[in-house]
Chains A and B, each alone.
Chain A
């Protein structure tokens, strides 16, 4: 449980802050000026902080909506993402947030209304294109929902824009707020998945794969569209058997018509980020693989293995799904 909430004094009266106060009645509330004074301090230790992260309540002023990195989107011509939160309750060994931020504290931007306003403007500006919005780029979209209440408001907002898609990406099984309301067809609940053996080793603090599949099934039964995200694909000696079994298990439980899309991407880090993350995990097998660095400065398994994994996963997925639902993510 979160023991300390640092809050920008300006946001204390905001309804989101009130909600958080109710959700965390025992926390110690400490005023700050701006979240950066705490979040960006030098010489922080991400791994130690991750043992007991604090929550920082802040107001966001700019960059509410951003275009996704190339290779990240799916069918839509215009793809955007937004981050109402930085950092995550879970602690996956491969998580790029460890390389992106030096702090493991959670930052929650309370002014959801400003996000929605900027999303509306973006939708309006691009009304002649197909558009998709991604939530959960810098956090898990649902894991913090009991405290933040974000997804509920987000879905209410997107209900008004039926021709625009929104994806909530998650490993969480906190689906209560979704099942107690009618599903909307333009919202995709996308689950990040790895074979059980890999998830048990690397997806620290996240719900087991069995629970994630159960949550997906429940949501699909309630009419929600599901996304399957195999990203990053992790290499180990018996990866083929592991991924093939996982895909088979999911397809045995979720009806193809409930699946909006499947995407997969190989393990990849910008060089600098890789250096930072691998230094944080001295003994993890994940970083024991002799990764390659390509001309663009991206660290990955290298062409040979990538090609093998790409072809295998693509073929496995095509056994169950039409090609048009399968996407290779490189962003």
Chain B
């Protein structure tokens, strides 16, 4: 069971889904430290240059990417491949950022991420405007000192979005930034303790965001979920790709009509894909006119 206080993140994970449903990509160790502590993540020995932390029980994995869009993109891809993360997982890029206006320490969701170098834009994430405000963000190559536009400035989000959006749906890709420097408080060498402080002060909002993100990824997981009895049949019978698709579609209809039955009740004689499909088709069609479809 998850530790007390983190129950809101617990998942009902079926046997055929990946255990990690929330993936963090964070540039600096100091930015990651409060999250590692809060989620009780443990270091994973990857035997690579990337540092990964994870908590299987909660389904959270975190990678420290280093600074810059390319590093962020590479780390996102590494984490995906390392744990074979499924496409219902949520991806979060959290970090500090410059902003055109005070105050320091505010948490924002970047709902528009633009790269002046690539001249391309992402619009990541389901918007949580009831929890934190949304704003635009520019991913720049070096730390911003002019703050000319009414936006956030970071060095990773674009690279992160570019890769993460190929893994999960756009609504499950999140960029959260905490203001660390502004025109009145321009960027200087920020001490790790100050960065950790900025993150720690926003843990309450982050917790609320995680709870909502958890609900969304659950919804996606539900949509992609293949029932165990379907997997069992597919593992013991040869299904072509087309037949497997057909079987799964028919199964849904059959299950709607027979919510209390299991596939075992159908007693397939030969256990051939075609036979299974035809038994399901006949079963669904036999009484189709008398069912309540509401």
Return the contact of A288 from the options B220, B281, B293 (Cβ within 8 A).
B293
| B126: interface (CB < 8 Å) | yes
Residue pair A45, B171 in contact (C-beta under 8 Å): yes
Chain A contributes a number of interface residues (CB within 8 A of B) equal to: 42
CA distance A282 to B225 in the complex (A): 10
> Which residues of B are found within 8 Å of A51, using beta-carbon distances?
126
| A289: interface (CB < 8 Å) | yes
| B170: interface (CB < 8 Å) | yes
Select from chain A the residue with minimum beta-carbon distance to B286: A290
Return the contact of B289 from the options A4, A52, A237 (Cβ within 8 A).
A237
Given A44-B170, A47-B219, A288-B253, A37 and B121 touching (CB < 8 A)?
yes
Residue pair B171, A48 in contact (C-beta under 8 Å): yes
Residue pair B291, A236 in contact (C-beta under 8 Å): yes
Select from chain A the residue with minimum beta-carbon distance to B224: A282
| B284: interface (CB < 8 Å) | yes
CA distance A30 to B127 in the complex (A): 13
CA distance A289 to B254 in the complex (A): 9
- Which stretch in B37-45, B128-136, B200-208, B234-242 binds the other chain? B128-136
Select from chain B the residue with minimum beta-carbon distance to A104: B171
Residue pair B127, A45 in contact (C-beta under 8 Å): no
CA distance A272 to B122 in the complex (A): 27
Residue pair B284, A28 in contact (C-beta under 8 Å): no
> Which residues of B are found within 8 Å of A38, using beta-carbon distances?
123
CA distance A287 to B249 in the complex (A): 10
Residue pair A48, B169 in contact (C-beta under 8 Å): yes
What is the distance, in angstroms, from A234's C-beta to the closest C-beta of chain B?
Answer: 8
> Which residues of A are found within 8 Å of B219, using beta-carbon distances?
47-48
12 additional contacts, CB 8 Å, given A3-B134, A289-B253? A3-B127, A4-B129, A45-B170, A48-B171, A48-B219, A198-B294, A202-B294, A236-B291, A236-B293, A282-B222, A283-B252, A289-B288
25 interchain pairs (CB within 8 A)? A3-B130, A3-B134, A30-B111, A32-B112, A32-B121, A33-B121, A38-B123, A43-B165, A45-B170, A48-B126, A48-B169, A51-B126, A197-B294, A198-B294, A202-B294, A237-B291, A278-B249, A280-B223, A283-B252, A285-B292, A286-B293, A287-B252, A288-B253, A288-B257, A290-B288
Q: Which 8 A-B pairs have the closest CB atoms?
A: A288-B256, A45-B169, A3-B129, A48-B171, A285-B293, A45-B171, A236-B293, A201-B294
